[in-house]
Amino acid sequence: MKPLSYSQISLYQSCPLHYKLQYIDGLKPKDKWYFSFGRTMHMCAEYFFKVRVPPPPSLEELLRFYEQNWLSEGYESTEEEARYRAYGREILAEFWEIHQAGFKMPIAVERLFHIDIEGVKLTGYIDRVDKLDSGRLSIVDYKTDKELFTTEDLEKDLQLTLYQLAAEQTWQLPVERLTLYHFRSNTPRSCGPRNEAQLDETRRLVLEVAEGITQQKFPPIENQYCPCDFPEHCPYYRQQYMAPDLLQQGILDGVAVAEAVEHYVSLQGQIKELQSQFEEVKQRLIDFCQAEGLNRAYGREHAITYKLVEKTGFSEDEVRALLEPEGLWHLVLSLDQSRLRQLITDEAAAKDIRDKLAALKRVVASYPQLWVRRIMEEE
């Protein structure tokens, strides 16, 4: 298997089919302005920090590099591109101002790494690694996201965790600080290093992703970014790309699929409406029988009988007190799936037991189901 990168792991996590289409089948994603903008800003940070000896480049040099290396792909119009180009210049001027004062050479900039996690190869580039006065490492990852990160984003960021693993293996020094640098506001947000349990969890995640890929598990998983660039290959969206004559074929007494969908939704609505009317009439009849002390109410052609039905059952404590001393209690026990699911998320239970339980999860049954979604409103 080829080495995995953070982008691949994260894509597989969000949708394994998307991962397969892009990284195994080799389909090319469309150009996006935000990738171009992000890459341009990353190159500028690299240019600024990757000097052989201080001082860093002057502001004029940095802006010249920016103009020469500007990536135009993916912008929707020349106006949009010009707006971002000017915006990038402003960000860089501020970036230069902040970082030229007290400039210190990092020990690595855009550093390629290769590490091994129990036989799984991992590769990537770390934006910047500094050596702190304590002799430990500080890792910086630049982001051009719109929003500033929350503390939770910082603490859960998978990329930083992978970089910590990579840096500690590469330099054989402990990491002391992890930073996400918000380029748009020139704001660094830092936290301490991941602990051993968090690193173990990430190693496990890498192994799980690698195993999924090896076993060719590529189910589509809908997520906030759907549809991706390959909807014509995705079972959630492919129907929209089918040949019109195929779609015209009747699937239900000559009814084409589009009408069948609307018919289904309309029937579902009628069932709901009828169910609510049914419940109301039922309750009125019960109220009437109870108020009048009747067990039967008559219509013109039918009669309904009212009875208070009692449901019998056993008290768990009493049954247990009786059966346990006889060694029979286990015969009436069975696994409660919903309690088991609660236990897996219950922090009062030992974490390794919860993890082992979670790893035992299997598909035990599958059945077809339909969900309805209003596409007109979404559009």
For ligand SF4, the closer of residues 199 and 221 by Cβ is 221
Cis peptide before 368 (omega within 30 of 0): no
The tokens describing 318, both together, are 């009493």
Q: How far is the CB of 372 from ligand SF4 (least distance, A)?
A: 18
Pick from 177, 37, 155: nearest CA to 106: 177
Distance CA 202, CA 115 (A): 14
For ligand SF4, the closer of residues 175 and 228 by Cβ is 228
Q: How far is the CB of 13 from ligand SF4 (least distance, A)?
A: 11
Distance CA 262, CA 270 (A): 12
Q: How far is the CB of 27 from ligand SF4 (least distance, A)?
A: 10
Distance CA 332, CA 228 (A): 50
Indicate the helix (H) or strand (E) that contains 116: strand 108-117
Q: How far is the CB of 249 from ligand SF4 (least distance, A)?
A: 24
For ligand SF4, the closer of residues 15 and 162 by Cβ is 15
- Contact in structure between 165 and 157 (CB atoms under 8 Å): no
Indicate the helix (H) or strand (E) that contains 64: helix 59-69
User: Which residues are at the interface with ligand SF4 (CB under 6 A)?
Assistant: 15, 17-18, 220-222, 226-228, 230-231, 234, 236-237
Cis peptide before 55 (omega within 30 of 0): yes
Q: How far is the CB of 232 from ligand SF4 (least distance, A)?
A: 10
Which residue sits closest to ligand SF4, CB atoms considered? 234
Q: How far is the CB of 20 from ligand SF4 (least distance, A)?
A: 9
- Contact in structure between 305 and 295 (CB atoms under 8 Å): yes
Distance CA 8, CA 202 (A): 14
Q: How far is the CB of 223 from ligand SF4 (least distance, A)?
A: 6
For ligand SF4, the closer of residues 17 and 44 by Cβ is 17
Q: How far is the CB of 225 from ligand SF4 (least distance, A)?
A: 6
Mention every residue, 6+ apart, whose C-beta is less than 8 A from residue 300: none
Pairing, β 255-256 against β 296-298: unpaired
DSSP-based three-state secondary structure for 65: helix
Question: What's at 206, amino acid-wise?
Answer: V
